[in-house]
């Protein structure tokens, strides 16, 4: 039984860390940490928007706007890649989703660009949610 757990732990470690750390990947991981902070804000926004939808102050079109933003978020989250060789960041209240195989074979510069694009994407979702609070 103990050997089974050791084998499983080794397989998990290998599946998540197939690249060596480099300055470009260090930068990619910093961007990844920043986008995860924005993601935390977005997760918090969902709770507030859900409350707003069910309040007397809800305005026409809010439900459909929130639904559209949540769909964008789900697409964004599905495409999110972790930075190989670095710790995975798991957020409370959000299911575990990330891809391993695709990223370990990408050049470091492309991984950085993917992280920057992901940060921009989650930033747009956050900004769109903020606009819903201001109507």
- pLDDT, tens only, 124-133: 999 999 999 9
3-state secondary structure 81-135: ECCCCCCCCCCCCCCCCCECHHHHCCCHHHHHHHHHHHHHHHHHHHHHHHHHHCC
Burial class (CB in 10 A: 0-12, 13-18, 19+), 117: middle
Total-model pTM: 0.79
Domain boundaries defined on the chain: 2-133
> What is the distance in angstroms between the CA of the first residue and the CA of the last residue of the chain?
58
Rounded to the nearest 10 degrees, the angle between the axes of helix 108-133 and helix 23-53 is: 20
Question: Averaged over 84-107, what is the pLDDT?
Answer: 71
**What gap in Å lies between CA 108 and CA 80, rounded to an integer?**
16
Sign of the Cα torsion 86, 40, 129, 51 reads positive
- For 4-47, what is each residue's pLDDT tens digit? 444 334 444 444 556 789 999 999 999 999 999 999 999 999 99
């Amino acid at each position: 039984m103990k050997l089974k757990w050791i084998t499983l732990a080794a397989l998990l470690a290998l599946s998540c860390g197939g690249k060596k750390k480099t300055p470009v990947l260090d930068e990619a991981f910093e961007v990844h940490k920043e986008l995860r902070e924005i993601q935390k804000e977005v997760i918090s926004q969902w709770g507030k928007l859900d409350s707003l939808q069910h309040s007397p102050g809800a305005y026409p079109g809010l439900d459909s706007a929130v639904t559209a933003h949540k769909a964008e978020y789900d697409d964004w989250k599905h495409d999110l890649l972790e930075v190989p060789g670095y710790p995975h960041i798991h957020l409370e209240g959000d299911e575990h989703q990330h891809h391993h195989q695709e990223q370990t074979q990408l050049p470091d510069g492309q991984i950085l660009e993917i992280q920057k694009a992901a940060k921009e994407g989650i930033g747009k979702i956050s900004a769109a949610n903020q606009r819903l609070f201001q109507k």
